[in-house]
Amino acid sequence: MRPRQHLVIDGDDTLWENNVYFEEAAEEFIDLLDHSTLSRAEVRSVLDDIERANLAVHGYGSAAFGRNLEETFHRLAERHPAAGELDRVRELGRRILAQPMEIRPGVEVTLGYLAPRHELTLFTKGHAEEQQLKVDRSGLAGYFARVVVTPEKDEGAYRRLVADNGLEAGQTWMIGNSPRSDVNPALAAGLRAVYIPHPRTWSLEVEELVESDRLVILKSFAQLRRLF
């Protein structure tokens, strides 16, 4: 039995699929926009820029995404919106909430292995009600000692998490798929980190990993059983 440690685990695209539904909605939006000169990649780049600029205002989640789609439509559309067209744009964001909850491979059996051996915290960012709904629908809350939803996951958020729950940073691991939100700020706050890449990680969450001897990179969630 390995020493008991604190494992802080991300939700979106670590425990369950998330970004794939936003990607599908973005592709449908590009079809709807049907720009005559911009490529799909160029339209997506504009959407990314608008999302990045609005993070501090709109935050994360399906509602914020819908507003960003609408702003992108107004900026790029080569026509006045047809009847019901903006409603279709907004529906692309609302529809994300209705997508099925798909647990990532190996997650539940691995949580069942880890929970009796270590103290688990689910640490997820975004709109509080929307994230809590995902947690409830996932059926995974019972594996965790606590569920914490935060508007942003930056260095300060990790320091508060450690302080508020009496954790020892050096014995606390952050596990997730996002370099920007799960790995780099956790390392900056003195935690250890496990990076589990996801092939569809949101582009705004991708950045170069900080080099650290406190970082472990795994290929799958199931490999946590070898580490812990």
Same domain for 106 and 217, yes or no, is yes
- Give the domain extent around 198: 6-16+101-227
The total number of structural domains that make up the chain: 2
* pTM of the predicted model as reported, rounded to 2 decimal places: 0.92
198 Cα distance to chain centroid: 11
- pLDDT confidence of 98, banded at 50, 70, 90? confident
Q: Evaluate if residue 1 carries a pLDDT over 70.
A: no
Q: What CATH number did the domain enclosing 127 receive?
A: 3.40.50.1000
Same domain for 111 and 195, yes or no, is yes
Domain boundary among 98, 113, 134: 98
Same domain for 123 and 216, yes or no, is yes
Residue 204 belongs to a domain: yes
Same domain for 115 and 221, yes or no, is yes
Q: Which residues pair with 186 in a beta bridge?
A: none
pLDDT digits over 171-189, tens only?
A: 999 999 999 999 999 999 9
Q: Evaluate if residue 159 carries a pLDDT over 90.
A: yes
> Can you read off the two tokens belonging to residue 202?
């949101």
pLDDT digits over 177-226, tens only?
A: 999 999 999 999 999 999 999 999 999 999 999 999 999 999 999 999 99
Residue 1 belongs to a domain: no
Same domain for 125 and 71, yes or no, is no
Domain boundary among 57, 75, 98: 98
**pLDDT at residue 82, as a whole number:** 81
Same domain for 109 and 84, yes or no, is no
- Rounded Cα distance between 2 and 47, Å, is 46
Same domain for 88 and 137, yes or no, is no
Query: Identity (one letter) of the amino acid at 1?
Result: M
Residue 187 belongs to a domain: yes
Q: Which residues contact 78 (CB under 8 A, 6 or more apart)?
A: 35, 36
Q: What CATH number did the domain enclosing 91 receive?
A: 1.10.150.240
Same domain for 107 and 212, yes or no, is yes
Q: Evaluate if residue 120 carries a pLDDT over 90.
A: yes
Same domain for 50 and 76, yes or no, is yes
Q: Which residues contact 141 (CB under 8 A, 6 or more apart)?
A: 122, 135, 147
Same domain for 111 and 222, yes or no, is yes
Q: Evaluate if residue 105 carries a pLDDT over 70.
A: yes
Phi-psi region of 106 (alpha: psi -120 to 50; beta: other; left: phi over 0): left
Domain boundary among 64, 98, 132: 98
Specify the DSSP class assigned to residue 165. T
Same domain for 126 and 69, yes or no, is no
Same domain for 135 and 220, yes or no, is yes
> Using an 8 Å Cβ cutoff, are 146 and 158 in contact?
no
Share of the chain above pLDDT 70, in %: 99
